[in-house]
Amino acid sequence: MQQRKSKKILKYFFLLLLVGSINNINLNELKLHNIHNVNITGIDIEDKRNLLNKIDFNLYNVFSINKDDLIKEMESNVLVENYFILKKYPSSLNINIEKTKFLAKINKNKQIFYLGSNGKFIKNDFSKKKLPFIFGNPDVIEFFNIKEIIDKSKISYKEIKNLYFFPSRRWDLELRDNTIIKLPNDNAHLALNLAIEFLYDRKFKDNKIIDARIENQIILND
């Protein structure tokens, strides 16, 4: 019995040596190359250059690259909406970026900024899109709330020329035909839908101010 146990122990010992040797050979043959190829899609050449300058990818391999650094860099970039990072062995990194959409313009500290769909303010001089201008100083969430109300209504956001935000935390909307819709603090979605009924009624086509601030009432002014 003792002899049989000794043979089993000896067998496991040689098996352990064999497995260990194979693993050592594989590890020796595995070469971790530094990152030589970074493929970035979704942004223009200048933005790619800025990203590559901020992180020296050549100092890392695909296993040692600090993902937290990449995430921090992506989220600090005001033009980035979403991103996807894929490590590709042996020495490539694929980064796909979805740029934010410009939704409106606003004056902050005497400078014109674009407000992106990522909720960030962007100093940008190359956009030629016709975007609504925000007057006043709303919180970002308040802008997104009124935009959601507009998007769910029968009026297109593209028809909005200006948005006026008041200290009482209500909005006026100016359309591209210069019609102004005055909205209340509460139930703005109901007031807007009611105002739109009058907006598209040809009997009131000459009215340029639609006051929907009083619940279930519309006041028209020429």
At residue 87 the predicted structure's pLDDT band, cuts being 50, 70 and 90, is: confident
Mean pLDDT, all residues of the chain: 81
- DSSP, res 59: G
Are the C-beta atoms of residues 106 and 115 closer than 8 Å to each other? yes
- Residue that has been written with the tokens 């962007």 in this structure: 122
* Residues 120-164: tens digit of each pLDDT: 998 866 666 789 999 999 999 999 999 999 999 999 999 999 999
Are the C-beta atoms of residues 155 and 132 closer than 8 Å to each other? no
Q: Which of 177, 169, 164 is nearest to 207 (CA)?
A: 177
- According to the per-residue pLDDT averaged within each range, which of 51-55, 91-95, 140-144 is highest? 140-144
Torsion of CA 12, 15, 21, 26, to 10 degrees: -120
At residue 7 the predicted structure's pLDDT band, cuts being 50, 70 and 90, is: very low
Are the C-beta atoms of residues 147 and 171 closer than 8 Å to each other? no
CA dihedral sign of residues 72, 76, 77, 78: positive
Of residues 180 and 1, more confidently modeled: 180
The SS3 of residue 219 is strand
- DSSP, res 4: H
